[in-house]
Amino acid sequence: MNPMLEAALGLADQLRWASRLHLPEMPSGERVLVTGMGGSGISGDIAGLLAGEAGRLALVHKSYGLPGWAARERPLVVAVSYSGNTEETLSAVAAAQELQLPMVAISTGGKLAEIARTAGAPHVEIPSGLQPRAALGYLAGAVSMVLEAAGVLPDQVGGLQEAASVLDSLFGKDGQGPGAELAEDLAEGLVGRVPVIYGGPGGSGVAALRWKTQFNENSKRAAYASWLPELDHNELVGWASIPELTRRVIGIVELRDSAEHPRVAKRFELTRQIAGADVAFVGTVWAQGETTWAKLASLIGIGDLVSLFVAAQAGVDPLPVAPIEMLKQRLAEE
């Protein structure tokens, strides 16, 4: 089996791994800033969602240094980098150290682990040997458990375990379940097309971002994400003027949640009627399960598979991300 497919089907086990983490006491903070990039950084988007639902504030930071408010608000900084060597994340950590902010580090090792060790800050070690984006269950699961241990999030174990069971029922043990069938149908609709993923507020919105980046990195394809209700105030107008192009190349996938705001549900229907006329394909995926974790994992699990099936149809190896490596190399030489 392709290693990226194996890792995608391993999402349930990664979440179970996270649910069994026994963490030492964690520093706490009234607010949280999760810093990380790409396949690691999306853990911060997930943390932000979980914290918001728990009435707490966790923001994600995907850049150098720290945002200006950090000096005054003194958040708990959770630094996430699969390799432990991503320069933006290390820069944020250096800024956090300068301000003497409480910090937790999550990585497979790398400089981030060394910095945490030297600073006496907790470090959660993630299993190595994967592409960062293929380790989302480890990374995001670990962030949520860290935030539970820090007293920011309520019990995460139930949600992580429900997410794993929902993934089991979607994909079976061998990747042959109903989720895989749906993923194949969606991939069929996206052959030779540019995916545009529509999420709603909350988990489907975070999942939309993940779908986009998985199309980029696994399928090596331009892909875009937009969010309702905001897109109804701008992007909706953008489908009308070059229909001869958009009706050929654009495939929209809606990520839906049965608990979405009723006006958002209405907007999804109306947006499909209006925009759907000028694009080649519109597909829909409904989140499964009860908890936020399960809903997120079901949407993400299906999206990961669609991106791999699209790669397979195009004869593309989903694993390497040569342009990212080349860019990192060139930056290192500067």
Q: Decide if 61 is catalytic.
A: no
Q: Which residues contact 52 (CB under 8 A, 6 or more apart)?
A: 58
The Cα–Cα gap between 148 and 128 comes to: 23
Contact range with ligand F6R by CB under 6 A, out of 66-74, 75-83, 247-255, 278-286:
75-83
Which residue from 35, 89, 219, 271 is in contact with ligand F6R, where contact means CB under 6 A? 89
In the bound state with ligand F6R, the residue whose beta carbon lies nearer, of 36 and 159, is: 36
Minimum CB separation of residue 93 from ligand F6R in Å reads 11
Which residue from 4, 19, 34, 38 is in contact with ligand F6R, where contact means CB under 6 A? 38
Minimum CB separation of residue 91 from ligand F6R in Å reads 12
Work out whether 141 is an interface residue with ligand F6R (CB under 6 A): no
Work out whether 327 is an interface residue with ligand F6R (CB under 6 A): no
The Cα–Cα gap between 84 and 323 comes to: 19
Q: Decide if 217 is catalytic.
A: yes
- Tracing tokens 């918001």 back to the chain, one arrives at 52
Minimum CB separation of residue 94 from ligand F6R in Å reads 15
**Catalytic residue (choose from 148, 162, 217, 254):** 217
In the bound state with ligand F6R, the residue whose beta carbon lies nearer, of 230 and 325, is: 325
In the bound state with ligand F6R, the residue whose beta carbon lies nearer, of 209 and 294, is: 209
Site map (CB under 6 A) of ligand F6R, residues 209-248, x = contact: --------x-------------------------------
Tokens of 151: 């007293």
The identity of residue 266, as a single letter, is K
Which residue from 37, 49, 106, 296 is in contact with ligand F6R, where contact means CB under 6 A? 37
The string of DSSP codes covering 152-212 is SS---HHHHHHHHHHHHHHHTTTT-SHHHHHHHHHHHHTTTSEEEEEE-STHHHHHHHHHH
Which residue from 13, 52, 62, 83 is in contact with ligand F6R, where contact means CB under 6 A? 83
Sign, Cα dihedral of 170, 206, 266, 277: negative
Q: Closest residue to ligand F6R, Cβ-based? A: 38
Return the axis-axis angle of helices 292-313 and 136-149, rounded to nearest 10°: 160
Angle at 213 between CA 212 and CA 218, to 5 degrees: 110
Work out whether 81 is an interface residue with ligand F6R (CB under 6 A): yes
Work out whether 133 is an interface residue with ligand F6R (CB under 6 A): yes
**Closest C-alpha among 216, 224, 199, 159 to residue 299:** 199
Tokens of 203: 């988990």
**Catalytic residue (choose from 73, 114, 261, 328):** 328
Which residue from 44, 75, 122, 132 is in contact with ligand F6R, where contact means CB under 6 A? 132
The Cα–Cα gap between 122 and 126 comes to: 13
The Cα–Cα gap between 175 and 55 comes to: 36
Minimum CB separation of residue 109 from ligand F6R in Å reads 11
Q: Decide if 73 is catalytic.
A: no
Q: Where are the alpha helices (DSSP H) in 27-177?
A: 38-53, 70-73, 87-98, 110-119, 136-149, 157-171
The Cα–Cα gap between 231 and 221 comes to: 22
Work out whether 40 is an interface residue with ligand F6R (CB under 6 A): yes
- Tracing tokens 């953008």 back to the chain, one arrives at 238
Work out whether 326 is an interface residue with ligand F6R (CB under 6 A): no
Catalytic residues: 217, 233, 328
